[in-house]
């Protein structure tokens, strides 16, 4: 009986010690979170890249777009200022890891490869990829006709469209560019048969240049899941941003902003032709 009491006492001591250790680890984890850096600094630093209609410059040089609205509201809800850090898309994940900014809010699609390097929040948007093609080079093409060694497809370097082009059209040649405007210009100039980019950009271009380009299929080539990207090892930040997305999905704010930028072009006169 005495032995049993000793074991019971030891177990209780061990449990208390474990609880104290867990509490200390939890506090240490919270202190290490980027959320604490943001609160102390008073500024949320967001990595992004210009990409219509996610983020773009208006005629006065100010950033506007869906991502700009989203990141600005995140900062407002945190009670801090917002700082955008424009970054080349091909280097945006290394820049996040190097702590050039706190989070990527830039229409980044969740992929297994990226998820090995960064953590993703819950999705906050579900767009997809569309194709736009040169009328003279590709009119009458079925989708399968683009999978040919005679075909060149342009895309934005380091972005999802290049991966989709490789997977869907492995025989085609790829021309990679630093931004969508360059890639699209290749199609207009007849140097590329087609270009793949996030919806709704190809449809906007088709409406703007009906004598030059067309969409081979009306449907999206893919459906994506876009999320915020964070450095690994920060569950507190992941929890905060995912719950922010949950709340603003439930109250309809994200859908309203997404519909404005993706389903209308009432904002088009604010920007130069893309």
Q: Are residues 195 and 153 in contact, defined by beta-carbon separation less than 8 angstroms? A: yes
Residue reference for tokens 């005679």: 150
Distance between first and last Cα of the chain: 83
The C-alpha angle with vertex 121 and arms to 115 and 126, in degrees rounded to 5, equals: 95
| Domain annotation covers residue 43 | yes
Q: How far apart are CA 271 and CA 274, in angstroms?
A: 8
- Residues 47 and 119 reside in one and the same domain: yes
| Domain annotation covers residue 19 | no
| Domain annotation covers residue 93 | yes
pLDDT tens column, 48-90 = 998 889 999 999 999 999 999 999 999 999 999 999 999 998 8
pLDDT tens column, 217-232 = 988 898 889 999 999 9
Q: How many domains does the chain have?
A: 2
DSSP conformation class of 118: S
If residue 155 lies in a helix (H) or strand (E), which one and from where to where?
strand 152-156
- Residues 153 and 195 reside in one and the same domain: yes
Indicate the average pLDDT of the chain. 88
pLDDT tens column, 110-162 = 999 999 999 999 999 998 899 999 999 999 999 999 999 999 999 988 878 89
Question: 70-106: b or e for each residue (b if 16 or more CB lie within 10 Å)?
Answer: bbbbbbeebebebebbebebeebbeebeeeebbbbbb
Q: How far apart are CA 85 and CA 101, in angstroms?
A: 7
- Residues 165 and 206 reside in one and the same domain: yes
- Residues 120 and 243 reside in one and the same domain: yes
Q: How far apart are CA 128 and CA 109, in angstroms?
A: 9
What number is the average pLDDT over the span 42-49? 97
- Residues 65 and 78 reside in one and the same domain: yes
Count other Cβ atoms within 10 Å, centred on residue 15.
10
DSSP-based three-state secondary structure for 14: helix
| Domain annotation covers residue 63 | yes
| Domain annotation covers residue 20 | no
Q: For the chain, where are the alpha helices, taking DSSP H only? A: 2-32, 34-41, 66-78, 92-97, 112-115, 135-138, 160-168, 180-188, 201-208, 235-250, 253-263
| Domain annotation covers residue 250 | yes
| Domain annotation covers residue 206 | yes
Predicted confidence at residue 8, as pLDDT, reads 46
| Domain annotation covers residue 152 | yes
The CATH number of the domain holding residue 87 is: 3.40.190.10
Tell me the pTM.
Answer: 0.73
- Residues 140 and 177 reside in one and the same domain: yes
What number is the average pLDDT over the span 191-202? 91
Q: What is the residue range of 49's domain?
A: 34-126+225-267
- Residues 122 and 40 reside in one and the same domain: yes
Q: How far apart are CA 121 and CA 110, in angstroms?
A: 9
- Residues 111 and 49 reside in one and the same domain: yes
The C-alpha angle with vertex 86 and arms to 176 and 117, in degrees rounded to 5, equals: 70
Q: How far is CA 106 from CA 1, 44, 206, 215, 230, in A?
A: 65, 14, 24, 25, 12
């Amino acid at each position: 009986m005495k032995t049993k009491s000793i074991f019971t006492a030891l177990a209780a001591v061990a449990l208390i010690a474990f609880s104290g250790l867990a509490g200390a680890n939890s506090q240490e984890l919270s202190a290490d979170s980027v959320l604490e850096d943001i609160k102390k600094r008073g500024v949320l630093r967001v990595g992004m890249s210009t990409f219509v209609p996610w983020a773009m410059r208006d005629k006065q040089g100010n950033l506007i777009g869906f991502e700009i609205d989203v990141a600005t509201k995140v900062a407002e809800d945190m009670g801090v200022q917002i700082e955008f850090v424009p970054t080349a898309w091909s280097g945006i994940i290394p820049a996040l890891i190097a702590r050039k900014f706190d989070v990527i809010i830039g229409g980044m699609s969740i992929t297994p490869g990226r998820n090995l390097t960064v953590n993703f929040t819950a999705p906050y948007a579900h767009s997809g990829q569309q194709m736009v093609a040169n009328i003279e080079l590709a009119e009458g093409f079925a989708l399968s006709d683009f999978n040919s060694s005679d075909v060149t497809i342009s895309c934005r370097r380091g972005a999802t469209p290049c991966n989709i082009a490789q997977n869907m059209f492995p025989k085609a040649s790829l021309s990679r560019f630093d931004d969508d405007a360059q890639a699209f210009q290749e199609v207009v100039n007849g140097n590329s048969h087609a270009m793949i980019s996030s919806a709704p950009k190809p449809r906007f271009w088709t409406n703007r240049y009906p004598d030059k380009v067309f969409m081979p299929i009306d449907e999206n080539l893919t459906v994506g899941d876009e999320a915020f990207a964070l450095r690994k090892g920060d569950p507190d930040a992941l929890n905060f941003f995912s719950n922010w997305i949950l709340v603003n999905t439930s109250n309809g704010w994200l859908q309203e902003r997404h519909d404005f930028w993706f389903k209308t072009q009432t904002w088009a006169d604010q920007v130069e032709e893309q």
